[in-house]
Chain A
Amino acid sequence: MAVQALDAARLPIDWQRLALPVALIAVAYGLIPAYASSYLVEAILLPFLALSLAAVGLNLLTGYCGQLSLGSSAFMAVGAFAAYNFNLRVEGLPLAATMILAGISAAGIGVVFGLPSLRLRGFYLAVSTLAAQFFVQWALTKFGWFSNDNPSGVISAPHLAVAGFSLDRATGRYLLSVTTVIVLTALVWRLVNSATGRNFIAVRDNETAARVIGVPVLKTKLLAFAISSFIIGVAGVLWAFTYLRTVEPAGFNLDRSFQILFIIIIGGLASIRGAFLGAAFIVIFPLILSRLGAFLFGGLFDSGVLDMSQRIVLGALIIIFLIAEPNGLSALFDRLKRRIGSRSS
């Protein structure tokens, strides 16, 4: 993967490579807002977009920089609650500013909890990121101020508007979400193909060697934590504001962190495309499985058996991916493309 990323940076603009993203953007802004059903937008696209963005953020940290984190959903929570409070407490703050400030808050917390990475490696670091997970949830529940003293401790999305246009309807929220994801993904793409991105990879591949060749290891690690947390924090805003609309701190629990981790494993570590493929898989696959199961075995088993089997199948797929395709869906996708390409040429 590392070599690939370097190659991409050296090449001039490759129009063939840009064809797919351009087509995707056309679909995202043209077809979907015009034709997608409310089910597709609310139940599939909105969670997919928020999770994809979170996965892009985590991938930067874990996939590119090699720092395993189990605290992603804590940073999502920080982003969501920060956005809520900035919006509530600063009169007339534009939505974009709210989201950026939320991201910065998450980045700040991310750096604090990233500090142990300066001394710790591997699992020791992974387990210590759990401290973030539990501490953030505790603090958000403990101090009523974070939820504007709501007795049930929940926050609700404010009225969303950009330049006077209301984005409260499903399509509006979708457009907000998709735009945010595209902008941040483009920035991340530039980043990983820059010198900083190469430093990330150097730190991941061999920290000592990186230090020897003059990569500022400590700075690089903290930067990875900051940028990653920023992105995950914004993903948290999308999750709370565009998707669920009313959330409680418990919604950002350890299971969510694992979910995001699964996305980047299944999608492919150190691959931006992988984050999207993985998120699509995690969101859509259980639905397909349960529909398919109900269709094939509906008469034989009740929904309980099918839903429990889903968990087993998901677990098995993770293992199968790790064994058979360690580079995830992204690599699978590449192979598929090559095969089709070689046939057509």
Chain B
Amino acid sequence: MSYYDFLFVIEVLVGGLLSGVMYSLVAIGFVLIYKTSGVLNFAQGSMVLFAALTFVSLVERGIPFALSLLITLAVMVALGFTIERTVLRPLVNRSPMTLFMATLGLSYIIEGAAQLVWGTQVHGLDLGIDDTPFEVGGILISSFDLLAAGIAAAMVAGLSAFFYWTRIGLAFRAVADDQFAALAVGLRLPRIWGTVWTAAGFVALVAGLLWGARLGVQFSLSLIVLKALPVLVLGGFDSILGAIVGGLIIGASEKLAEVYLGPFVGGGIEGWFAYALALVVLLVRPSGLFGQKTVERV
């Protein structure tokens, strides 16, 4: 392999890792909710769409950036609490499958509402981040992706701090460990769930802004969940660390596969490669890399 080829591999790898961070960003929203309530929240994608669309519509109506951000955050918090109250609470103690299907219904409602309120036009989203690439030792790096990775890292650090050092965070971890024990010691589950959905709304907002800047804000923004699902499977549904590591692995390997394996089968394999990879890992570790193992009882 020549030096030039070697550089190219590194370049693909770096690009893949940076894309992977973007997948993790979406995946973390799933993990937060799964960890506390055992729900695979399929509506996370539509929450991302809803957040981005609300934000961009506000900005286009001449509301300043910071204020729009604040309003959108408030809307997402309200949405989180509403979901907790109207969907989750009545479904408490139902099977995880029922809850999952409820979130499918939820995603219809949120997508419909987003388009009903804000319309179906496509929007560009300019976060004021310059996206000219720069070179480091012959490797091209996108400044936007780098910044996005930085923001994602900051968000993860912030969330971790929140969950480790605040009372509500402690309660969150208690619930995640054992719901019944948490109830027994008098923790108020609904409040914790409300908080978690709020946090997921916040993650959706951040993901929506960064992905919106990459794709434009439009209906297909909600499709990014399809990129996050294999990450979740690989990392384990209930591990934030898993979401991050999973995202990096998926991002890097799917790019390398597309570039080096793709040509042998005609290309375009990225769509299913991530799923196939996740599947292979699962066959070895059925709960993902970092997921909690379930104990079977009769």
Bound pair: A and B?
yes
Task: Report A's interface with B, CB cutoff 8 A.
Answer: 68, 116, 119-124, 126-128, 130-131, 134-135, 137-138, 142, 206-209, 212, 254, 258, 261-262, 265, 304-305, 308-312, 314-319, 322-323, 326
Of A68, A315, A322, the residue contacting B107 (CB under 8 A) is: A315
- Least CB distance, B278 to chain A, in whole angstroms: 7
User: A316 to B110, alpha carbons, bound, how many Å?
Assistant: 10
**CB contact under 8 A between A312 and B116, given known A128-B282, A131-B275:** yes
Contact A121 B286, beta carbon cutoff 8 Å: yes
Of B90, B109, B237, B279, the residue contacting A128 (CB under 8 A) is: B279
Question: Knowing that A126-B100, A128-B278, A318-B108 are A-B contacts, what are 5 other residue pairs whose CB atoms are under 8 Å apart, sorted by A's residue number?
Answer: A68-B97, A135-B275, A135-B276, A208-B296, A311-B108
Contact B109 A315, beta carbon cutoff 8 Å: yes
Contact A120 B282, beta carbon cutoff 8 Å: yes
Q: Is B216 interfacial (CB 8 A cutoff)?
A: no
User: A326 to B90, alpha carbons, bound, how many Å?
Assistant: 12
**CB contact under 8 A between A308 and B104, given known A124-B287, A206-B298:** no
- Least CB distance, A318 to chain B, in whole angstroms: 3
Q: Is B74 interfacial (CB 8 A cutoff)?
A: no
Contact A142 B90, beta carbon cutoff 8 Å: no
Contact A208 B298, beta carbon cutoff 8 Å: yes
How many contacts A-B (CB < 8 Å)? 125
Contact A209 B298, beta carbon cutoff 8 Å: yes
Q: Is B272 interfacial (CB 8 A cutoff)?
A: yes
User: A251 to B275, alpha carbons, bound, how many Å?
Assistant: 21
Stretch of B14-22, B135-143, B169-177, B261-269 on the interface side: B261-269
Q: Is B61 interfacial (CB 8 A cutoff)?
A: no
Contact B116 A305, beta carbon cutoff 8 Å: yes
User: A329 to B87, alpha carbons, bound, how many Å?
Assistant: 20
- Least CB distance, B231 to chain A, in whole angstroms: 10
Jot down 14 A-B pairs with beta carbons below 8 A, ordered by A.
Answer: A123-B40, A126-B40, A127-B230, A127-B233, A130-B275, A137-B271, A142-B265, A209-B298, A308-B116, A309-B116, A311-B112, A312-B113, A314-B108, A318-B108
Contact B91 A116, beta carbon cutoff 8 Å: no
Main secondary structure of the interface of B (DSSP, over half): helix
Contact A119 B286, beta carbon cutoff 8 Å: yes
Contact A116 B229, beta carbon cutoff 8 Å: no
How many chain-B residues does the 8 Å CB contact rule pick out?
50
- Least CB distance, B262 to chain A, in whole angstroms: 11
- Least CB distance, B157 to chain A, in whole angstroms: 27
Contact B276 A131, beta carbon cutoff 8 Å: yes
- Least CB distance, B198 to chain A, in whole angstroms: 20
Pick from B101, B120, B230, B278 the residue with the most CB of A within 10 Å.
B101
Within 59-103 of B, Cβ neighbours of A (below 8 Å) are at 86-87, 90-91, 94, 96-98, 100-102
Which B residues touch A322, using CB under 8 A?
91, 94, 98, 101-102, 105
Which A residues touch B278, using CB under 8 A?
127-128, 131
Q: Which residue of A lies closest to B98 (CB)?
A: A322
Task: Report B's interface with A, CB cutoff 8 A.
Answer: 40, 86-87, 90-91, 94, 96-98, 100-102, 104-113, 115-116, 120, 226, 229-230, 232-233, 237, 265-266, 268-269, 271-272, 275-276, 278-279, 282-283, 286-288, 294, 296-298
Which A residues touch B91, using CB under 8 A?
322-323
Contact B109 A312, beta carbon cutoff 8 Å: yes
Contact B275 A134, beta carbon cutoff 8 Å: yes
Which A residues touch B87, using CB under 8 A?
319, 323
- Least CB distance, B283 to chain A, in whole angstroms: 6
Contact A319 B106, beta carbon cutoff 8 Å: yes
Of A123, A135, A208, the residue contacting B96 (CB under 8 A) is: A123
Contact B282 A116, beta carbon cutoff 8 Å: yes
Q: Which residue of A lies closest to B285 (CB)?
A: A119
Pick from A126, A131, A138, A319 the residue with the most CB of B within 10 Å.
A319
Contact A131 B279, beta carbon cutoff 8 Å: yes
**CB contact under 8 A between A261 and B101, given known A123-B237, A124-B286, A208-B298:** yes
Contact A261 B104, beta carbon cutoff 8 Å: yes
Q: Which residue of A lies closest to B233 (CB)?
A: A127
User: A316 to B288, alpha carbons, bound, how many Å?
Assistant: 33
User: A195 to B101, alpha carbons, bound, how many Å?
Assistant: 29
Contact B275 A318, beta carbon cutoff 8 Å: no
Contact A120 B104, beta carbon cutoff 8 Å: no
Contact B112 A208, beta carbon cutoff 8 Å: no
User: A326 to B99, alpha carbons, bound, how many Å?
Assistant: 11
Which A residues touch B297, using CB under 8 A?
208
User: A55 to B104, alpha carbons, bound, how many Å?
Assistant: 17
Of A128, A254, A305, the residue contacting B233 (CB under 8 A) is: A128
Which A residues touch B101, using CB under 8 A?
261, 265, 318, 322
Contact B113 A124, beta carbon cutoff 8 Å: no
Q: Which residue of B lies closest to A213 (CB)?
A: B298
Contact A319 B102, beta carbon cutoff 8 Å: yes
**CB contact under 8 A between A318 and B102, given known A138-B268, A138-B271:** yes
